[in-house]
Amino acid sequence: MNISDLLQKPDIESCQRLLCIQPHPDDMDISAGGTIARLAEKGIEIIYLTMTDDTAGFMEVEKIKSQRRLNHRKEEQENAGRVLGVKEYHWLDYPDAGDWSQYEARNAIIRAIRQIRPDFVMTVDPWLPYEAHQDHIKCGMAVGEALILYNHPMVKTEESVDNLFEPYQIDGVAFSFTARPNMIIGVDGYREKKFRAIAEHKSQFHGDNFEILKVYDELRSKNLAKDQNFEFGEGFKILNPNYMLHAVPEAVDY
């Protein structure tokens, strides 16, 4: 017997409510937009929780003041989400590329989980080799720890939320932007939606960088789909959060 026999891989396509927790408003669209469109089409509720205000990512910062940049990014995100089928949005508005607390973020995520009650969570992989953006690392780590602790009554967030919360099971967590995928989801027929959604993030993408992203994504998606019965795929590291996010060395190769 091995760990795969002991702990079956969670099935994201069988979930009912997926909470996507991302560092910036475009991260899920870029890393998993085809999958999100596919899941939304199946009737799965897609909910976005975005950690930062993403106001550092503007290419023409001098033209838009700070508060307007924040509102502008939310408008772009909602426009993109309508393309993919996102149902609901939540924002924590931590400073993009700023000195925000992973501990505070963890508690905010626990509070959101207790309110939203997803049965599956998606986030960015904080263990991606050579990842240098602390927003990504802190986001993924905060999500991982929140999934360990959300059912613990002694972990406090907001009294009105905690008092009404009844423990329940989250079946799985999917890490996107991962170098160690253990699940490839076919996204043939959904890439057009994915890139229509990404194109709505106009403040972040201009000309060449959007075209480079499209070429890179096509190459990566085709490579992930090798030996599969589809042409394009998106890769995820999917783990059981109840057993595999703490003190399980075998999770790296699961």
pLDDT, one tens digit per residue, over 115-157 is 999 999 999 999 999 999 999 999 999 999 999 999 999 999 9
Grade residue 206 by pLDDT with cuts at 50, 70 and 90: confident
Domain ranges of the chain: 15-243
Grade residue 4 by pLDDT with cuts at 50, 70 and 90: confident
Query: Quick check: 166 and 238 in contact, CB under 8 A?
Result: no
Mean pLDDT, the chain, whole residue set = 95
What does pTM read for this prediction? Answer: 0.96
Q: What's the average model confidence in pLDDT over 96-114?
A: 97
Q: Are strands 172-176 and 120-124 parallel, antiparallel or unpaired?
A: parallel
Q: Give the residues across from 21 on adjacent strands.
A: 49, 123
Q: At residue 177, what are phi and psi to the nearest 5 degrees?
A: 50, 50
What is the CATH architecture assignment of 15-243? 3-Layer(aba) Sandwich (3.40)
Tens of pLDDT, residues 55-96? 887 666 555 566 677 788 999 999 999 999 999 999 999 999
